Amino acid sequence: MTGAIFYATKSGATEGVAKYIARNIGAETINLDKDPNADLSKYDRVILGSGVYLHKVPKTVSDFATKYADLMPKVSLYLVCAFKDEEGDEQLQRISSELGVGYGVYFNNPRRMMGMEGSKLELFIEHLNNGK
Ligand SMILES: Cc1cc2nc3c(=O)[nH]c(=O)nc-3n(C[C@H](O)[C@H](O)[C@H](O)COP(=O)(O)O)c2cc1C
């Protein structure tokens, strides 16, 4: 199975998570700002990662989701963001539905979750490794 994590980052947090997940599931990482024409369709398993700015994902991410709208239901999204609790849940729901992804999660402080059993990040990796 060939997997890829497509991501956009401004200050690096989303990239750090992309590399961490890639190491744990065996996938390529593709920075959408450097490679906006990357081809999603050649991968069996696709993850999309993004930071959130002023309630939105960067245009590279929304353009990518529009271009591959048909395939988005199979994509797992992670957001790296400042919002949490109810505000974080609402933001995730809205962005997931705008992008059309089949599954979504957000990480408020991903560095702290790395290697921490039962953390949202480790559960997300488990979810991906289970092939869901
Ligand atoms: C100008 C600015 C606006 C932001 N707006 C939001 C927001 O609307 N919602 C949110 O949850 N986080 C917001 N954040 C926090 C970022 O999503 C967070 O720092 C994230 O780690 C950025 O990802 P990146 O480091 O991959 O670029 C904002 C940060 C900045 C600097």
pLDDT tens column, 40-87: 999 999 999 999 999 999 999 999 999 999 999 999 999 999 999 999
Which of 7, 3, 128 has its CA nearest to residue 79?
7
pLDDT tops 80 at residue 131: no
Q: How far does the centroid of ligand 1 lie from the alpha carbon of residue 108, in Å?
A: 10
What one-letter code names the amino acid at 16?
A: G
Output the pLDDT for position 42.
92
* Pocket of ligand 1 contains residue 89 by CB under 6 Å: no
- pLDDT mean over 110-118: 96
Output the pLDDT for position 72.
97
Average model confidence (pLDDT) across the chain: 96
pLDDT tops 70 at residue 132: no
* Pocket of ligand 1 contains residue 129 by CB under 6 Å: no
Domains belonging to the chain, first-starting first, are: 3-129 (3.40.50.360)
| Burial of residue 48 (number of CB atoms within 10 Å: 0-12, 13-18, 19+) | buried
